[in-house]
Amino acid sequence: MWLSNQSYQGEFILLGVADRPNLEMLLFAIILICYTMTLLGNTTIIVVSWLDPHLHTPMYFFLSNLSFLDLCYTTSLGPQMLVNFWSKSKAISYAACAAELYISLALGSTECILLAAMAYDRYAAVYQPLHYTTIMSQFLCFKMAAISWMSGFGNSVVQTTMTLKLPRCGHNRVDHFFCEVPALIKLACVDTSLNEAELFASSVVFLLVPLGLITVSYSYIVAAVLRIRSAEGRQKAFNTCASHLIVVSLFYGTAIFSYLQPPSNYSRDRGKMISLFYTFVTTMLNPLIYTLRNKEVHRALRRVMNRNSMS
């Protein structure tokens, strides 16, 4: 009866690790640190890329897009999750759950396509350096970014609608930290084979296809790097692409594990922890990975800081 009333009021209960309060406090501290570093790191990249004319290039245009996307992604989930860790009530309204599901899924899908666009940019820079500025025109960069964002939000409309339309027969206890498709599908009291098939097909399109294109791009990049005669040239080309490859490996590896399996096989604790990893840890690491190995960003940071101190 209690579940039925809660379902009628349009509430979901996000269980997370409510049965382990000590772990809740540990996760609260970890996520707060990751979220704070994500905000600082990604905001820094956006501001420096905007202020320093030397970084007004296709690579930093896409990197700024990625940083803004990561800021929005973690913000769509982080504050609500931190509140839930502190609160005894783990309830989230139907509208808030739907918004959380739609926005986070849209931004995650967008990142899948955006990382493929960044791989193409690196391919053009390394494999065809003489024609790079012609190939990666401002119009093409804006077009690729727009396609990434529109396809991500379009995919989320379909996924969110299909997931929330499933009858739940009063079940509202979501065994997760936030509203995510596989966890919500598990609440359904009807056959979900159509939803699982659609989720799998969407995951192939947004995970495996971009990952395949990235792999092809980097096969050409490796071939081009091996043809560079000087060791310094090879090292520079490698540093240009290594950061992107690390980000790709972290993001696609965890996302594929979470989404390319039937929700019926969704491992309770493992799935939740993997989701936390690609939601908070990878978004925190992205700015560190791109800036620690990048001398251009170091120089740009110094120029911006010197400019501010002089003024």
Per residue of the chain (311 residues), what is the pLDDT tens digit?
334 444 444 789 998 887 787 888 899 999 999 999 999 999 988 988 888 888 889 989 999 999 999 999 999 999 999 988 888 888 899 999 999 999 999 999 999 999 999 999 988 988 888 889 899 999 999 999 999 999 999 999 999 999 999 998 888 898 888 998 988 998 998 999 999 999 999 999 999 999 999 999 888 888 887 777 777 777 776 776 777 788 888 888 888 877 776 655 555 667 788 888 888 888 888 888 777 656 777 677 777 777 666 65
Domains in the chain (CATH in brackets) are 19-310 (1.20.1070.10)
pLDDT at residue 293, rounded to an integer: 59
Cα–Cα distance for residue pair 286/63, rounded to 1 Å:
10
Backbone torsions φ then ψ of 13, nearest 5 degrees: -110, 115
Asked if residue 294 lies in contact with residue 243, where contact means CB atoms within 8 angstroms, the answer is yes
The one-letter amino acid code at 64 reads S
Residue 155: how many CB atoms within 10 A of its CB? 20
Cα–Cα distance for residue pair 35/279, rounded to 1 Å:
10
DSSP 263: G
Cα–Cα distance for residue pair 195/98, rounded to 1 Å:
17
Q: 3-class DSSP state for residue 306?
A: helix
Residues 6+ apart with CB under 8 A from 64: 45, 46, 49, 50
